[in-house]
Structure 1
Amino acid sequence: MGVPYRGPDAVSPDDIVTLGQGDARWASQTALTAAQLVPVNSVTATYTLVLGDQGRAVEVSSATAVTVTVPPNSTTAFPIGTVLEIVQIGAGQVSAAAGAGVTISTAGAGGTTKTRAQWSIITLRKRGTDQWIAAGDMA
């Protein structure tokens, strides 16, 4: 499956992306820049993630503790591989909680999914139907 030849000026050197082992594909710089932007969903109270949060940063601004719940696949079917960020913007600690039947795995003993301090980030990645991995600045 080739790309039709459109002359020497059809693709500029800035449009070439090298993927490794000599494999190169082209994409516009504008498209690459847009793909790197992370939209923000701002919340101020207890919140349950929705499909619209996929690929977003959920910024939580509250003076008191807030829980962000990861819902079960049966109610909110995020695709496997989905990545989300949860960011503590306010003084209130943020907890990422597993909804019914959901498992959130973390490194280390205790398995906490609470932000450590203001500006801490928890990154969640879905690795199975109701299985998520949490990583980040957690206490």
Structure 2
Amino acid sequence: MAAIKRVIVSSVPGSLAEGTEVFVENGSGLDLYIGNSSNNPVLVSANQFLQSGDVVEVSDIVDNLASTDTDKPLSANQGKVLNDAKADKNQNWQERTGDWTLTLVDSYRIDRCTSGSAENVTIPPNSSEAFPIGYWRVIRQVGVGQVTIVEGSGVIVNGGKNTAGQDKGFMLVKVDTNEWDVYGGVE
């Protein structure tokens, strides 16, 4: 077997002895050895399942959630984004005061607008927040401040854009790339 990578350890207190080799060999898998390759090295780790075809190229990793390529792995960064969004789904509602913008992190929840003055909810364009088609959000005016839907650049909202009064609510549903329908208590 030919060594893929060899490193010879220099003298470091508490470490391997000087001159010890650490190397990986590619046989039926990737095997990690410590010791002299010509004098019975110790097999430290063996992975009989990892083959050269199992290696993921960095260029294959997807680092955005807008990709439609289901055969490519996600980056650790995107895994964190998804995990954070999943954690947020466990909380069904959030209280809001003041103006705010829809984000993917706050996915699939009920927003209770509790302000005593008017609030604006901005729907950003798909280029800023790529919500999936079918995404929904419920918004309820609990306080006396009317809630107004504000269309981001290129966004179309079908239906009324202002809550019909206190204790009224509506549902937003994304129906196309930059198009949303409004259902419920709006005028």
Please give the TM-score of this superposition, normalised by the length of structure 2. 0.50
The 4+ residue runs of structure 1 with deviation greater than 3 A are none
- 1:71 match: 124
Give 1:92's aligned amino acid.
G
Please tell me the root mean square deviation across aligned C-alpha atoms, in Å.
1.4
- 2:177 match: 129
Match of 2:137 among 56, 76, 84: 84
Please give the TM-score of this superposition, normalised by the length of structure 1. 0.67
- 1:27 match: none
Match of 1:102 among 151, 155, 171: 155
Which whole-Å CA distance do the structure 2 matches of 1:79 and 1:55 have between them? Answer: 11
Q: Cα distance, 1:63 vs. partner?
A: 0.6
Change (3 A) 1:133 1:38: farther
Q: Cα distance, 1:38 vs. partner?
A: 7.0
Provide the aligned length of Structure 1 versus Structure 2. 98
Which whole-Å CA distance do the structure 1 matches of 2:93 and 2:182 have between them? Answer: 19
Which whole-Å CA distance do the structure 2 matches of 1:81 and 1:38 have between them? Answer: 20
CA contact (8 A) 1:38 1:55 kept: no
Which whole-Å CA distance do the structure 2 matches of 1:61 and 1:77 have between them? Answer: 27
Which whole-Å CA distance do the structure 1 matches of 2:94 and 2:129 have between them? Answer: 17
- Any gaps of 5 or more consecutive residues in structure 1? 1-36, 107-111
- 1:51 match: 104
- Any gaps of 5 or more consecutive residues in structure 2? 1-89
- 1:49-105 per-residue CA deviation (whole Å, 9 max, x = no partner) reads 110232101111111111001111101111110010111010000011111110000
Structure with larger RCO (C-alpha < 8 A, sep 6+): 1
Give 1:69's aligned amino acid.
T
